Structure formats: C-alpha cells, structure tokens
Amino acid sequence: IRQAERIFSGHYRQLTAELQAEMENAAEELNFEKAAALRDRIRAISVLGKQQQVIAGVCADTDVWGIYVGQVRSGCAVLHIEDGNLLGREVEVFPTAADEALPAVLAAVLQQYYLERGALPSEILLPEPVEDMETLAALLTGRAGHRVTLRVPQRGERAELLRMAGRNAREEVERITSDAERVNKTLEQLQQLAGLPVLPRRMESYDISHTAGQDMVASMDGKPLKRDYRRFQIKSLDHADDLRALQEVLQRRMQRYLDGDEHFSPLPDLLLMDGGHLQAQATQQQLESMGIHVPILGMVKDDRHRTRALVTPEGRELGIQQSPPLFALVGRVQEEVHRFAITYHHEKHSRSAMTSRLDGIPGIGNVRKKALLKHFKSVKAISEAELVQLEALLPKAAARAVYDHFHEKNT
C-alpha cells in the first residue's frame, strides 16, 4: 500500500530504488521467482515514470477544463496539475439553459471561477475558444501577478488531458441525470416546436400497409406501451387508397372513444401520422367531422425512408434535426409503428395465401383445414396428394372433394 501511495504521489525514483534493493536481496537469497516479479514491477513503474516526466514537462502548473452541455444539465470539470501530478479535481453540474452553446457556457463559468480566486495557474487549457480570450488572459495575469496563458490544444499531451477532463464532466452529468428527466426535456422541445397546449406524454401513430390493395391493415401505436397497440383490418376498400384507409381507421378508433370504450381512452396528446402533409391533412378532416380536436403532425421521410422533419396539416415543416434527442424520438416512433403494421400485414398475408386455396371446398371447415396443413405441411403438398393419401386423413367424401378441387382443371 505504501508503494501504491508513492506511485500516486509521483515519487517514482524513490520507489524504484526501494524495489531495486528488494530485487537484489531476493537474488542473493536465491529466490529468483520473487526477483523476477520485482524486476517486472520496476519495468512497469519505469514506463509510468517516463509518461509522468512528459506530462510534468508540459504541464508544470496547469488547469485543464472539460465542459459537457447535456440536454437537461451541463457540467464542468477542472483538473489541477502541478509537475505532472494531478493534485485535485473539481466538478460542478448546473441546469442547461435553453439553446446555450458550449463556448457561451465556458466563458460564463471561467470568469465566475477565476475572478474569485487568489492563486491562479500559469496555464489554462480549454476545449474550445471563448470570446475575448486575450482580454481574459490579460485580466487573469493582472490578478495573478504572473503570466496566465489560455490555450486550446488540438493534439499531443495537452489535448489528451482535455479529453480526460471532458469525460469527467460528462460522466458526472450523466450520473445524476435520470432517464425521466431526459424524456421530459425532449417532450418539452417537441411541445415548444409544435406549439402544443400540453406536454405530449401520450402519442399515437398510424401506418397503412397493404399489397396492391389486398390485405390492407393499419396499426395504432404510441410511445412503446404495447398493451395499447391496436390493429385494424380495412373493411370499406377493395383497392389501395392510403388516405381513405387512414380515415376509416381513425373514424373507427375515435368512435370507440366516443362510445365510452375504455380500451380506446384517453385521447392522445398528439397524433403522429406516418407519411407527411397529405396524411396529416386527411387526419384533420376526419377528426373535425367528428368534433374531435387533437394536435396532428405528419412525419416526413427522406430518400432513405427515415423521418427528417415534422409537418402540420397546413403543410408547414418543422425541423427536428437540430435536436438529436427529438430527432431520435420521432425516428423511433416512426420505425415502431411501421414495424408493427408490417408484421401484422405479413402475418395476415401469409395466412390468406396459405388458406385461400382451401376455401370453398365442400366438407372442409377450419378443423379439417388445420388437420390437412398439419399433416401435409403446405397447400402445395395437399394439392399434389393422391386420393388414397387424403382418404387416410379424411372421410372419403371430403377426401374426394379436396382431390377434385385441385384436379378438376386437369380433367
């Protein structure tokens, strides 16, 4: 433990001398295994000592600043280094002001930090330039009675120390910021951007999926609360029409709410429609016809089918890329509702593809369909089965009906 204390204090020469004496004593006592272990320890400490000498030569009396501007909180970390030794560390966390950039935060905390101190370092390392650096350096030099230099290193030992200080600041901010606070901050940004009356804690999103107008389905989705996910099979259309399909779904969903169905209550704080301006507009028309008023935004996609912006029913686009957390939130909603709709569509389309060729056969109901599929594994195998194979599973009349159903075109 005493040796470890000397390493942290930077007393490499004294420690090396002690270990050297121990190694020689072990060798004289023919304890070569212990001597070899001490030799390896001396080599390791030598590497540390060389690194320490480099830092000591670069940072004789230096403060190293790390700044992290988080979504909810920001933080700064100051590492105090003398002759290569880290003598102290100070970390402070404070609320993040709206739209405040890193240089502005840094300039504010620098003045507050140093102008109240008597002893100042010879060198201050900063992660980014601040306004009037020369003026601030001159002011600090006058207070310190010696020259104070402000630097923004880009490479080398100083830059590595800056990265270390930045990690200190970020880790402290992340440590005391809860997930709930991050989500609330993101929702506040969305509320402000879209001018929403309340914080959008409950959001619903809708997507239409179909294949050439067949097997059309829709999904009702929200912030991942899977017990509230809903699926709708389109009933009023026999051809592809996404806008009319969307209006049908919304009419059914909102009518269930108006009828007092607890599974469709409460109304959402915000509707996010997969698509864009036309989908948002069609949604607004449907809701207004029912006397329901809920904020509506469309999710506009880029060429790679990723949400790049939000759009109002009037066609006004709202940029979200300037806020990575908001951009990520909207992207997750869009991906989840699309995944949910596509999964349902694939399930339904697969079921219809498997069973449609068995529909309408006299004597073949759902129970016998399942028995046939379980035994033959596929509709194709059923269609190629011999009559005697079908009779082994079904009554003769039903087996003959199945056989004739698949062979009548060949007779």
Tokens of 282: 């069609």
Question: Has residue 354 got a pLDDT over 60?
Answer: no
Judged by average pLDDT, the poorest of 13-17, 140-144, 193-197 is: 13-17
Mean pLDDT of the chain: 79
Query: What value does the mean pLDDT take over residues 338-347?
Result: 59
Q: Which residue has the higher pLDDT, 375 or 306?
A: 375
Query: What value does the mean pLDDT take over residues 240-263?
Result: 86
With cut-offs at 50, 70 and 90, classify the pLDDT of residue 54.
very low
Give me the helices (H) in 10-101, please.
12-28, 32-58
Give me the pLDDT at residue 3, please. 77
Judged by average pLDDT, the poorest of 132-136, 255-259, 339-343, 365-369 is: 339-343
Rounded Cα–Cα distance for residues 223 and 220 (Å): 11
Question: Has residue 289 got a pLDDT over 90?
Answer: yes
Give me the pLDDT at residue 341, please. 60
Taken in order 314, 319, 325, 331, is the CA torsion positive or negative? positive
Q: Which residue has the higher pLDDT, 14 or 313?
A: 313
Amino acid (one-letter) located at 287: L
The two beta strands, 307-311 and 214-222, are unpaired
Give me the pLDDT at residue 45, please. 75
Give me the pLDDT at residue 292, please. 92
Give me the pLDDT at residue 222, please. 37
Tens-digit pLDDT profile for residues 154-169: 888 888 888 989 998 9
Give me the pLDDT at residue 240, please. 65
Asked if 296 and 287 count as a contact pair (C-beta separation under 8 A), the reply is yes
Percent over 70 (pLDDT), the chain:
82
Rounded Cα–Cα distance for residues 208 and 240 (Å): 10
Residues, the chain: 411
Asked if 387 and 401 count as a contact pair (C-beta separation under 8 A), the reply is no
Q: Report pTM.
A: 0.48
Residue among 60, 84, 83 nearest 146 (CA):
60
Question: Has residue 49 got a pLDDT over 60?
Answer: no
Tens-digit pLDDT profile for residues 387-397: 999 999 999 99
Instruction: With H, G, I as helix, E, B as strand and everything else as coil, classify residue 66.
Output: strand
